[in-house]
A and B are shown apart, each in its own frame.
Chain A
Amino acid sequence: MLESARQWCLFLLKRLGFLCISLIGVSLVTFVVTHQIGDPVYLLVGPKHTQEMLDNMVRELGLDQPLYAQYCRYISRLAQGDLGVSRYTFSPVLSDIRLRLPATLELSTYALLLGVLWAVPLGLIAGRHKKSWAAKFADLSARAGASMPAFWLGLLLIFVFYAELHWLPAPMGRIGRGFEVGTVTGWYTIDSLLAGNWSAFGSSVRHLVLPALTLAFTTSPSILLITRNTMAEVMKTDYIRTAKSFGMPPQTISRYAVRNLLVPVSTMIAMTYGYLLSGTVLVEVVFTWPGLGFYAVEAMNHSDYEPIMAVVLLSAGFYLLVYVLSDILSAIIDPRIRVGG
């Protein structure tokens, strides 16, 4: 019992250490990019400037200071939540992000759910029955999803379901015009349900369908493939053969097999989720979805640099967090991981 607790502490410490070092690494990279590549002063001041503004900016950025001092300033600013001010929204980047984060989170989460619901069952069947139609279909859809440009698929779906069939609304944001949704979570689906506003709920769902499907189809192939491949491998193992040889029924065999899939599949799902936070950029542009990606693109179009870097930082941090959490989950499922560290 004590041994197991000690193992856990060591493991958690190692993972935490990894997270911290990686976050520092990420901040170093973003620091270098914001302060050293190109002309940071020009970037932050913008195309319309005077010499005085340049000088002020130099002092403000501390560019006259040694490098490590600049880095420390950068870190302390970050720690205080100061991500800069956006030049075209005129608000602090942090509050801009706070406003838009729920939109991206809502879209990513539903996209992930749809993707998992599609990929995991299909992968399980394809892995277990390798020559079946399901397996061939899985192969094809995985290849198609991975090869298809998400922004093109989005446009195609808009053309078919909005322009031609008129089944779904115009790709203009998260909800129809005139709907009022309270802001408890920032998720229109949840907030409208909490308020009992069924029509708002319906509208927000109808606006979610196409972008979520687009994302789900193009990001689920990796989940599909790992589910299928791991299932096929597991079914060939000696321990499944032993279970069969002792007469265990198919349901138990499936249960035994699936537990061995949990770690690789959950890791891939976590990585996909981490990727999705920033991977929605192109889809958000196509559907005019007011999330982080759209924000970054708008900033870029206005030569506004700080928002882009803030979103980069946030995405990288989110990914690392999700990655470490999934590692911990894997260690709970598979005791061998705790030993390996």
Chain B
Amino acid sequence: MALLEISKLEVTFASGRERLNALRGVNMAVEAGSRTAILGESGCGKTVTALSIARLLPSTASVLGGKIVFDGRDMLALSEEELSGIRGSQLCMIFQHAALALNPLYSIGRQIADVFQHHFGGGQKAAWHKAIEVLAATGIPNPEERARDYPHQYSGGMAQRALIAMALVAKPKLLIADEPTSGLDVTTEHQVLELIQRVVGDLRATLLLITHDMAVVSAVCDRVVVMYAGVVMETGTVAQILEAPANPYSYELIKCFRHSKRKQMPFIPGRVPDLREPGQGCCFAPRCPRAEAICSREDPPTLEIGTGHFSRCHFGEP
């Protein structure tokens, strides 16, 4: 029984008077204890998927259909009250650009202490000490002083550590990290990723990592979900996907990574489909070097390539 199971998730956004189809039937399963990456180009729906799990979508979004089952609970059916009970203690999400993800008018220590107090009770002093403790555990020097500082006084890397410290305090079962290293330099990125791995290991938690960077995936994760234009194209272990991708899109993506510089977004010729159009057939067909007539006519099925390796394509190989 997977810790998290998403089936046929459809999400649209209202933009002016039009609707954008952000997710068009996402199917995904995350096993407890795994470190799964959601990999894809920008706009493919990976962040929207993550936000949907935690029910943190903005008000312009509507979930049109599908199911999200986390730890046996139907997430889409829960009320706000029930949700706030689950968030933090069962699952939590940390965002990119950490310095902006922290309240600028409260000290870091205070924000972490508040999370601790809410989940575990106790007095302010105990919570404050706990905050200093986790800040130290994430490798922030001078934690007693740093706890009194405000987010604008933290560097990008330190702010991300502070967010991870918050997760350490909350002790969730599932940690969702949305591009935690965007905007960070290589050294800091390395340190943050190491920290995330250590924390997830210490908490014995499951990690769901959103990224567009293949190198991050291969460094940290054991499973990959490749997304494109609001659907899942391929899922499998890192080894399966990197060495023997079955889906033409994954194949092209990996080819791009191997040939381009690390920090750039992968570039496949052609344009990402217009999310306003409902579309027919495989969404990748216009750019797919392997496409045939059937691809633009019929929705591709999900083929089982190997154990736990699935590809959404009419063909079993790229």
- Whether A and B touch directly in their complex, counting CB atoms under 8 A apart, is answered as yes
Which residues of chain A have a CB within 8 Å of any CB of chain B?
Answer: 130, 236-250, 252, 256, 259-260, 333-336, 339
**Which residue of chain B has its CB nearest to the CB of A257?**
B103
Q: A245-B87, A246-B88 are in contact. Are A238 and B95 (CB under 8 A)?
A: yes
146-173 of chain B: CB within 8 A of chain A:
150, 152, 163, 166, 170
For residue B97, CB closer than 8 A to chain A, the reply is yes
8 Å CB contact of B100 from A239, A246, A247:
A239
Quick check: A247 and B170 within 8 Å, CB to CB?
yes
Quick check: A256 and B106 within 8 Å, CB to CB?
yes
Return the CB mask of B81-112 against A: 1 if under 8 Å, else 0: 00011111100111101001111111000010
Residue with the highest number of chain B CB atoms closer than 10 Å, among A237, A240, A247, A333: A247
8 Å CB contact of A236 from B58, B80, B152:
B58
8 Å CB contact of B166 from A240, A246, A334:
A246
Q: What CA separation (Å) do A236 and B103 show in the bound complex?
A: 12
Quick check: B106 and A247 within 8 Å, CB to CB?
no
For residue B227, CB closer than 8 A to chain A, the reply is no
Quick check: B119 and A260 within 8 Å, CB to CB?
no
8 Å CB contact of A242 from B84, B89, B102, B118:
B102
For residue B15, CB closer than 8 A to chain A, the reply is no
Q: What CA separation (Å) do A252 and B116 show in the bound complex?
A: 13
Output the least CB separation between B5 and chain A (Å).
20
Q: A246-B170, A248-B115, A336-B152 are in contact. Are A239 and B101 (CB under 8 A)?
A: yes
8 Å CB contact of A245 from B59, B80, B93, B105:
B93
**Which residue of chain B has its CB nearest to the CB of A131?**
B59
48-91 of chain B: CB within 8 A of chain A:
54, 56, 58-59, 80, 84-89
Output the least CB separation between A334 and chain B (Å).
6
Q: A244-B87, A256-B106, A336-B104 are in contact. Are A249 and B93 (CB under 8 A)?
A: no
For residue B114, CB closer than 8 A to chain A, the reply is yes
Q: What CA separation (Å) do A130 and B119 show in the bound complex?
A: 30
Contacts of A247 in B (CB 8 A): 84-89, 92, 115, 118-119, 170
8 Å CB contact of A241 from B56, B59, B106, B114:
B56
Q: What CA separation (Å) do A249 and B87 show in the bound complex?
A: 10
Quick check: A252 and B118 within 8 Å, CB to CB?
yes
Output the least CB separation between A331 and chain B (Å).
12
Q: What CA separation (Å) do A246 and B114 show in the bound complex?
A: 10
Output the least CB separation between A290 and chain B (Å).
44
Interface size class of B (residues with CB under 8 A): 20 to 34
Quick check: A241 and B101 within 8 Å, CB to CB?
yes
Contacts of B95 in A (CB 8 A): 238, 241-242
Q: What CA separation (Å) do A130 and B59 show in the bound complex?
A: 10
Output the least CB separation between B78 and chain A (Å).
12
Output the least CB separation between A125 and chain B (Å).
15
Quick check: A239 and B118 within 8 Å, CB to CB?
no
**Which residue of chain B has its CB nearest to the CB of A249?**
B84
**Which residue of chain A has its CB nearest to the CB of B150?**
A335
Quick check: B92 and A260 within 8 Å, CB to CB?
no
Residue with the highest number of chain B CB atoms closer than 10 Å, among A243, A245, A336: A245
11 A-B interface contacts by CB (under 8 A)? A242-B102, A242-B163, A244-B56, A246-B92, A247-B85, A248-B118, A249-B118, A252-B118, A259-B106, A334-B105, A336-B152
Q: What CA separation (Å) do A248 and B56 show in the bound complex?
A: 13
Contacts of B102 in A (CB 8 A): 239, 242
Quick check: A238 and B88 within 8 Å, CB to CB?
no
**Which residue of chain A has its CB nearest to the CB of B89?**
A247
Output the least CB separation between A103 and chain B (Å).
39
Q: What CA separation (Å) do A4 and B106 show in the bound complex?
A: 16
Quick check: A248 and B88 within 8 Å, CB to CB?
yes
Q: What CA separation (Å) do A11 and B292 show in the bound complex?
A: 68
Contacts of A130 in B (CB 8 A): 59
Quick check: B56 and A245 within 8 Å, CB to CB?
yes
Q: What CA separation (Å) do A106 and B102 show in the bound complex?
A: 42
Contacts of A336 in B (CB 8 A): 104, 150, 152
Output the least CB separation between A247 and chain B (Å).
3
Q: What CA separation (Å) do A130 and B106 show in the bound complex?
A: 26
Output the least CB separation between B63 and chain A (Å).
17
Output the least CB separation between B2 and chain A (Å).
21
Output the least CB separation between A41 and chain B (Å).
56
Q: What CA separation (Å) do A141 and B115 show in the bound complex?
A: 39
Q: What CA separation (Å) do A236 and B95 show in the bound complex?
A: 14
Contacts of B163 in A (CB 8 A): 242
Q: What CA separation (Å) do A245 and B103 show in the bound complex?
A: 13
Quick check: A252 and B114 within 8 Å, CB to CB?
yes
8 Å CB contact of B87 from A239, A240, A246, A335:
A246
Q: What CA separation (Å) do A245 and B111 show in the bound complex?
A: 13
**Which residue of chain A has its CB nearest to the CB of B58?**
A236
Contacts of A241 in B (CB 8 A): 56, 95, 101
8 Å CB contact of A334 from B80, B94, B104, B115:
B104
Output the least CB separation between B17 and chain A (Å).
16
Contacts of B92 in A (CB 8 A): 245-247
Q: What CA separation (Å) do A2 and B48 show in the bound complex?
A: 45
Q: What CA separation (Å) do A247 and B80 show in the bound complex?
A: 10
Q: What CA separation (Å) do A243 and B102 show in the bound complex?
A: 8
Q: A245-B87, A246-B170, A336-B152 are in contact. Are A238 and B118 (CB under 8 A)?
A: no
Quick check: B103 and A239 within 8 Å, CB to CB?
yes
33-47 of chain B: CB within 8 A of chain A:
none
Contacts of B93 in A (CB 8 A): 242, 245
Contacts of B94 in A (CB 8 A): 242, 245
Contacts of B152 in A (CB 8 A): 335-336, 339
Output the least CB separation between B53 and chain A (Å).
10
Q: What CA separation (Å) do A336 and B107 show in the bound complex?
A: 12
Q: What CA separation (Å) do A238 and B84 show in the bound complex?
A: 17
